[in-house]
Structure 1
Amino acid sequence: MKPNKQDQNELIGLLMKEYQGNESELKIVTEFQNEYASSRAVWWYTRDSFVYRLVNKALRVRNVEMIFLMRNIIRNVYEQLRANQFKKRAVVYRGQMMSEIEMKTLRKSIGNIISLNSFLSTSLNRRVAETFLRQSVVSCSSDDHVGVIFEIEADPRVICDVNGDNRRPFAQIDELSYYGDEAEILFMVGSIFRLGSIRQDDSLGDMRIWTIRMRLCRDDENDLKTLYDHMKNKITRAEMNLMSLGLTMWKMGKFDLAEKYYRQFLTELPSNDPSLSKLYQRFGLVANSKGEYDRSLEWYEKSLEIMMKTRPSDYVNIGNTHNNIGGVHRNKGDSLRALESYNRALSLFKEANDENHPNMASFYGNIGGVYSAEKKYLEALDLYEKSLAIQKKYLPTDHPDLGLSYNNIGTVHDLLNDYDLALDYYERSLKIRLKSLPSQHPDIATSYRNMGLVYEDKSELEQALTLMNKSKIIYKVALPVNHPYLLLIKNDIRRVEDKTKREK
């Protein structure tokens, strides 16, 4: 997305507030406001100022709001790196302190892929890396940190496509940098490396240090590439705007942020804009996910009203809206109205002779959910299997929708008292969700809760409590305090704790 004046003003306003009373920083903020240019992005990023501190922190902790406001700088740095792509194989170094916990994780990951969610600054000169490490040792007050030198082999030939272009370039930035004498090589956000070895075979003065050897990888060495490309293609088919950003936030489980971007987009649209029906539908998705069911229905009805007036033959979007409305009724416990809406969606696709449409998977899955609630378990299982078969035709093996289908099938087996089979499907679902969703996504919490319920049924109460507490931790971060799911998990934990006490 291209930057606009509103975002730039919001960023400067945040910076002025952040550094209120700090004259030296405010002076740099004013200089940035008046003099920033895309041709000096790397210069600004490498300068000791708020730019690299805020960009790095936002990327590291995935602060989407700050990444969004600073996207222009990130993109400009990318463009400068791409224009100055390093042309030959290089071995580069980086010195830093690392916690024992991080080191333990890395030592378990030898041979695996590592993707970095921030820029990576390195040097062609090992002595520069050692100097930075010495400085880090002096400033590090913690006892549980160790000194490491990253030794990275980077060959531009393995990462460029057939046109010689690279989505994650690396470049020597001496002539672009604020500091021009460090033989610095800067890698783009999202660069992928294979971890080769970790050895404590060097010393730096009195200190023993670890050497971590890595190699820059091609995109196709990443086992999530198929899923990544599938998701990216679905997003980039649409226009890059606040609505597509909001949908990505919703899929990541960041419901408040999705709503914020939708509201911002709403203020930019005229009252007769054709995008309104889709935007109202997105508001409905968010409200439903937040447990605001009546509000969700209002948004869906507004969306449907516009579509019936302007695009009455658009069976795909009209059918999807009926399907979504059914989901809200189901969440409200009204199975009859839910089934009515789902069947309406189903019949629209059948009338259009589009029974192999990928959306049919969702319809079958949702109707299966109603049958499951009505204790028609075999009918539910049949529909869930139908849904899964369609998804396997269209989706990569690690897609979250497959995780949902495995979860649904597991639920039916649990209700049929096939506990081991239920756990098998829940574990398949959890494996996909852990791989393809953010770590605090509510769907992951749902998997933990469902597995906990099975262990409760099996009278393995300690294991049940462990899983339910994992679920609660995620729900508390991801959902509003009064969300029904949060209330359910608290009741589950209380019930299992009471059973545990009685057993003692």
Structure 2
Amino acid sequence: MAMAQIDENISDNLETFSLFWVDANVNECGENQDAQQQLRRIINHLKTFEKGDDCIEYICRQTRTEDRIVLIVSGRLGQEVVSAIHHVRQVSSIYVYCRDRKGNEQWAKNFVKVKAVTVRLDELISGIKSDQQTRSKLEECLSFTTSIGGDQSTTGLNGQFVHSQIFIDVLLRMKPDEQDRMDLISMCRKQYQGNSSQLAIVKEFKKNYSPSKALRWYTRESFVYKMLNKALRVQNIDILFLFRSIIGDIKKQLDQNRCQSSVRVYRGQLMTKNELISLGNSIGEFISMNSFVSTTMERPKALQFIQKNFEMSDDMEPVLFEIDADPRKVSFKPFADISTFSEYSSEKEVLFMLGSIFRLNQISQDIDGQISTIQMTLCSDDEHELKGLYDYMKNLYGNGETNLRSLGLVMWRMGKFDQAEKFFRRLLDSLSPKDPLLSALYQNLGLVASDKGEYDASLQWYQKSLNIKLRTRSSDYVNIGISHNSIGMVYYRKGNLFEALQSFTKAATLFEKAKDENHLTMGYVYNGIGTVYQQQKDYSNSLLFYQKSLAIYQIHLPSDHPDLGSSYNSIGAVHYSLGEDDLALEYYDRSLEIYSKSLPPQHPDIAITYENIGNVYKSKDDLKQALSYFQHAATIRHHALSSQHPITVRNDEVIQRLKDKLQKRTIQF
């Protein structure tokens, strides 16, 4: 049951590297088919193409920025294919397997990603195997978020910072489940079907894995390292969920073997020029690592590694991370010398726990200007300026064991509504009809359904939650008031303003009855009443209730909390309706400033503010600026909601009308 739910979003390749082979005869002769089996022992995910155009289209349209491709091309198709895809970031290395070495070397020498031109199949396979040992480490890029400003390598912007930390914390506090371990093994068998060498490793894992062997499994050349690192980099929640007990075991071993004194460690790798520029814009800021960070205590070894290999690609820059780490500064994110656990003990590897936070001190270049040194210092969880927001959100989940509901709420706050619903439903399937958690879970499912635009389903969930509360806790006026407020918001979104105001009024009455008129949820009630008045064009009352809502938020919430951003956005919308465009923009800017610190970059609430700013510029007849903001909003909505969501459809229609108007103006002039 669990695997059926988790399997939906598993991508085609759960490792970073893929091997593509394009040759008109790639699947015809037995020799090539035998070679494919040998190549899968090096890189599991192998895809063959008999036509060059098919390969080009697949690479350009269906691969992700985070993917890495090792490409084999025939002599006949090679020049055409390589010319078309050499610039693509995903293409790591290219090998030409042909009958005319000298002839193909003439064109191949113009492409730096071409590593070899060979006429022998055994030479091709051995070359790929040898290069892959270095390539997999050199291009295993770090995934990180900055605390303030700047881009995030591979996954997003700085608003992800707090949520990445919270997600890790909640995930590691969940109780291990043997069924999840079996689901992980089942998934691996499916991924490595037909790959006997990898299936043997999966079998060994099932038989021999124990928590005390977590670091050995992570450091060896196995699916644990390959899948886990890919999942962390692309934030594949389904895979990370299955790996959570292994992540927890690694953390325990790092705790048990943590360094006792300060160390300076190094890491050599390749980084794109854009990623390096992004880091350069983040000097003095905090970096949260979304993956484990592998380093060495030996600077010459790290330098030798990149000096020997940085010519691998013309769009990459060799960098050396230099990290100072004091164990007295960290308690929750340990680091340890894991040489005794590693198959490569001579590398003197120091491993940092995922979620470790560093301050970026400086980026400098060596005398020749060829290698950039990125100097960082390990920090504690208490040093970054979003600590207030982090502590507030962490406390929402308590200090003890977390569960699927906790994880679902993390997903909801990140704007990942499908993931949230998946975890809520999975928990629901496991509960008895009288479980005390049912009411809260129904409330959460109603919340997600509402955000997904499924308003009738949302009302049904909210009503089920309310019925339980009325039956079991009829004097709990605050919780019953929360239900009425939620129902009111759905009615508002459906356009039923009378029913919405009735529900909000019921909620307010219940809070007054509980003598808790400054309860945080009362702020949401006032906000809901404000939305109804705004829709009725009663802007003075709307503004009054929005300001009352804001006042309560300011009592209870940290200054960077996203609900404050939502409040400023609502007040801005009223000023826009009153024709006060410049004042509206001021409030929208305050909203975006908070969102940039507190929400992931693809969160739907950010799209609302972008749309509102677009409306202001449309009002000012600045259609180009308006179009730009509506396009920003659409990008988020297509990612976070769906193309069929009514809000997304409306957004796309506005974009089309703006384009039509701009085109008419262009024709006129």
Under TM normalisation by the shorter chain, which class is it? Answer: over 0.9
Where does 1:461-472 land on structure 2 (aligned, <5 Å)?
461-472=623-634
Amino acid at match of 1:63: N
User: Quick check: 1:284–1:297 contact (8 Å CA) kept in 2?
Assistant: yes
**Which structure would you say has the larger RCO, counting Cα contacts within 8 Å and 6 or more residues apart?**
2
2:335 corresponds to: 170
Taking every aligned residue pair, what percent have the same amino acid on both sides? 52
Where does 1:428-443 land on structure 2 (aligned, <5 Å)?
428-443=590-605
Amino acid at match of 2:328: R
The answer on 1:55 being equivalent to 2:228 is yes
- How far did 1:158 drift? 2.6
Task: Provide Cα deviations, 1:303-336, integer angstroms capped at 9, x if missing partner.
Answer: 1111111111122221111111011100000000
For 1:462 and 1:394, how far apart are their aligned partners in 2? 40
- How far did 1:236 drift? 2.1
2:425 corresponds to: 263
Where does 1:478-493 land on structure 2 (aligned, <5 Å)?
478-493=640-655
Q: Secondary structure at the match of 2:396?
A: helix
The answer on 1:215 being equivalent to 2:377 is yes
Where does 1:40-439 land on structure 2 (aligned, <5 Å)?
40-134=213-307, 136-137=309-310, 140=312, 142-159=313-330, 166-202=331-367, 208-236=370-398, 240-439=402-601
- Structure 1 residues 41 and 146: CA distance shift in structure 2, 3 A: same
The answer on 1:6 being equivalent to 2:6 is no
Task: Provide Cα deviations, 1:454-493, integer angstroms capped at 9, x if missing partner.
Answer: 1111111111111111111110011122211101111211
Q: Secondary structure at the match of 1:3?
A: coil
For 2:246 and 2:305, how far apart are their aligned partners in 1? 25
Amino acid at match of 2:624: E
Compute the RMSD of aligned alpha carbons.
Answer: 1.4
- How far did 1:404 drift? 0.6
- Structure 1 residues 432 and 238: CA distance shift in structure 2, 3 A: farther
Moved over 6 A (4+): none
User: Quick check: 1:97–1:136 contact (8 Å CA) kept in 2?
Assistant: no
- Give the aligned length: 493
User: Quick check: 2:175–2:401 contact (8 Å CA) kept in 1?
Assistant: no
2:107 corresponds to: none
TM-score (norm 1): 0.95
For 1:238 and 1:498, how far apart are their aligned partners in 2? 56
Q: Secondary structure at the match of 1:110?
A: coil
Which stretch of structure 1 is more off in the superposition, 231-240 or 280-289?
Answer: 231-240
Task: Provide Cα deviations, 1:273-332, integer angstroms capped at 9, x if missing partner.
Answer: 121111111111111111011111111111111111111112222111111101110000
User: Quick check: 1:253–1:441 contact (8 Å CA) kept in 2?
Assistant: yes
The answer on 1:451 being equivalent to 2:616 is no
- How far did 1:132 drift? 3.2
For 2:502 and 2:477, how far apart are their aligned partners in 1? 16
User: Quick check: 2:478–2:514 contact (8 Å CA) kept in 1?
Assistant: no
Larger Rg: 2
Q: Secondary structure at the match of 2:366?
A: strand
Q: Secondary structure at the match of 1:260?
A: helix
1:499 corresponds to: 661
For 2:431 and 2:295, how far apart are their aligned partners in 1? 45
For 1:272 and 1:7, how far apart are their aligned partners in 2? 25
User: Quick check: 2:325–2:377 contact (8 Å CA) kept in 1?
Assistant: yes
Which stretch of structure 1 is more off in the superposition, 320-329 or 6-15?
Answer: 6-15
User: Quick check: 1:96–1:136 contact (8 Å CA) kept in 2?
Assistant: no
For 1:50 and 1:316, how far apart are their aligned partners in 2? 49
Which stretches in structure 1 are left out of the alignment for 5+ residues? 160-165
For 2:540 and 2:342, how far apart are their aligned partners in 1? 65
